Amino acid sequence: MEFHEVSFGYGQDKPVVDQISLNILQGQWVTLVGSNGSGKSTLVKLTNALLPKSAGSIKVNGIELQSNTIGEIRRNVGMVFQNPDNQFIGTTVEDDIVFGLESQCFPVDIMEQRIQTYAAKLGITDLLHKHPSELSGGQKQRVAIVSILSMEPEIVIFDEASSMLDEKTRNDLTVILSDMHQSGKYTILSITHDAEEIAASERVLVLHEGKLIADSTPIELFRDDHMLEMCHLTAPFAFRLKSELHKQGVEIPIPSSEEELIEGLWPLLSNK
């Protein structure tokens, strides 16, 4: 995805997305962070023309976004939103998934095969004949993801898809994103406030008042207290502990997992 000096405003006021230029490479897993109102949701909605950009240019898979390419680009960009309740149309989970596939005119055998494949991947096979109202929030979000993945888009955008989920289900979603990333089939752009999800991604974009103010890695972000404060984010536990120890003059390597954290701490604890 290529954004070149892209701007958008809802009214006469100053732009909500202000001259953003950035490239996201195929296969990357990118998180988009920033305080509420910084323009994240607006920016991703410009990608497939859910909102019309007012200036600049956007290319997806090398195709310039304009009125005659919107359909083609939308087929390549799937979006999962915050509230799964707003994403249901069908009376059963399966109907709901079929609805999206039918809108793209897939043959019946392909539809059936894809539903089975992605439902199994996301662990919802047993739910296919249930009414959406019978599902928990986490199950609904899995169904929403299956609906999108079964259309096999190359780019998947998550707009705070984990924010209404409990911690366990949020962690499950991070695992799903990791699996998608490792499959090498998807480019992922995810708006999130979840520190563990940010830590698992490979690149972080920071928006502030409609401007792109940082393009870095999760580790760089978690080292930057000022940036964390601006984004209203808290670093994962392991990073916070490392930073507190650093202030006390105790150095441990940056852990990438809880196991590594314990390994790093163990010699210090056993010395005392």
38 touches ligand ADP (CB under 6 A): yes
Among 1, 20, 42, 181, binds ligand ADP (CB under 6 A): 42
Sheet with strand 55-60: strands edge to edge: 17-23, 2-8, 55-60, 63-64
Q: In terms of CB distance, is 9 or 90 closer to ligand ADP?
A: 9
Q: How far is the CB of 134 from ligand ADP (least distance, A)?
A: 30
41 touches ligand ADP (CB under 6 A): yes
162 touches ligand ADP (CB under 6 A): no
40 touches ligand ADP (CB under 6 A): yes
Q: How far is the CB of 82 from ligand ADP (least distance, A)?
A: 10
Binding to ligand ADP (CB under 6 A) within 2-21 occurs at 10, 16
Assigned token pair, 117? 């494949």
37 touches ligand ADP (CB under 6 A): yes
Q: Segment contacting ligand ADP (CB under 6 A): 34-42, 54-62, 72-80, 235-243?
A: 34-42
Q: In terms of CB distance, is 135 or 207 closer to ligand ADP?
A: 207
* 130 φ, ψ (degrees, to nearest 5): -85, 160
Q: Segment contacting ligand ADP (CB under 6 A): 37-45, 66-74, 88-96, 259-267?
A: 37-45
153 touches ligand ADP (CB under 6 A): no
For 71, half-sphere exposure in the C-beta direction (CA atoms, 13 angstrom radius) is 3
Number of Cβ within 10 Å of residue 56's Cβ equals 16
User: For binding to ligand ADP (CB under 6 A), which residues are involved?
Assistant: 10, 16, 34, 36-42
